[in-house]
Amino acid sequence: MNVMRTIAGSKRPVNARSAMVPVQVSADRESIFDRTADYVSAAMGRPANIVVWLVLVVGWTLLFALHLVSANANFLPLWFTGTAFNFPLNLLTTVAELFIGFLVAAAANRSERNLQLTLAAIADQEKHIEDVETKLSEEVASNTALTQQVHDLASEIHDFLTSAHHDRSG
């Protein structure tokens, strides 16, 4: 017996195997924002990205802190140099943090929705398992009663045949 159910809000059938599989949305149904959020959140969490940013920040700081480049260096654009050399770096990192934060939050929200759907499927599956266990218990009880009736009938037949055999021989 294969009982099929659907998760609320989903047309996807749920059975013992599919209830444990997270709900996946095909790539063509995801918006560009969602795909970008997933890509950025995956990329920002990688150690290589952290190392790159660490090297850039330390390098930038050392470049000016050790006076390897003067604050008036002419290899950089004028707006990027001066006594407030840290302004462009702060601006860039602040904007990047905001951008990445929103994208990561969007990816986390979608991941949370998928988790909720998966948990709902698991809860539905647990209810289904409880229903099956209840029905199985009822069937075992019924089978036990039928087995007892068969045993009683077999005993009656045996007694009847034994008494008939004794009546004929005696």
The predicted-structure confidence for 93-137, as pLDDT tens digits, reads as follows: 888 888 778 877 888 888 888 899 999 999 999 999 999 999 999
The answer to whether residue 51 scores a pLDDT higher than 70 is: yes
First to last CA, the chain: 56
Closest CA to 103 of 157, 40, 160, 29: 40
The answer to whether residue 18 scores a pLDDT higher than 60 is: no
